[in-house]
Amino acid sequence: MKYSLERSYEILDRTPAVLQALLSGLPDDWIMPNEGPETFSPYDVVGHLIHGEATDWTARAKMILEFGPARTFERWNRTAMYEESNGKTMQQLLDTFSAARKKNMDWFRGLNLAEADLDKKGMHPVLGEVTLRNLLATWVAHDLTHIAQITRVMAKQYKEEMGPWPEFFRILSF
């Protein structure tokens, strides 16, 4: 699918409600397990998404629009949520994410980007030159990837209790 601002809004606007419906009110045995060392629990993912709203997507879009490739993006700390989320409830994280995403989407829509703006370039510290289109498409894919990750981690909580059925659920193999 070719990148579209409208298609982006459709996913980015929905992510907070999807997470709210999926995770709100669940006990820790659903939201705290992960898949092993250096993996995220559903709780961690929501904290990770909050950190991204504050330091990644809009910050990098602003850099592209203001400086182009003349300034390199700050390196992104993908595990900052371990400290930032410490002591917070899942509901606090969900509410924080929802508010941050609304603010960012209001800003994003307010840019009134033209097709030519999407081809503006920025400099990633590892990947090199990227376009605003690349960044914004990745924002959408990032949300969808983490929604899939959350559901996979949760599904795995019952894997041992499923008897012979796990062989039919590819998500449990990842």
The CATH number fitting domain 5-173, selected from 3.40.250.10, 1.20.120.450, 2.30.40.10, 3.50.20.10: 1.20.120.450
pLDDT in tens, the chain (174 residues): 999 999 999 999 999 999 999 999 999 999 999 999 999 999 999 999 999 999 999 999 999 999 999 999 999 898 999 999 999 999 999 999 999 999 999 999 999 999 999 999 999 999 999 999 999 999 999 999 999 999 999 999 999 999 999 999 999 987
> What is the per-residue pLDDT for 12?
98
* Nearest to 123, CA basis, from 74, 90, 79: 74
pLDDT of residue 95: 98
- pLDDT at res. 92: 98
Return the pLDDT at 173.
Answer: 83
Q: Which of 19, 167, 159 is nearest to 99 (CA)?
A: 19
Per DSSP, the residues of 108-131 read HHHT---GGGGG-EEEETTTEEEE
- Go through 86-118 and write b for each residue having 16 or more CB atoms within 10 A of its CB, e for each that does not: eebebeebbebbbebbeebbeebeeeebeeebb
Supply the pLDDT for residue 120.
98
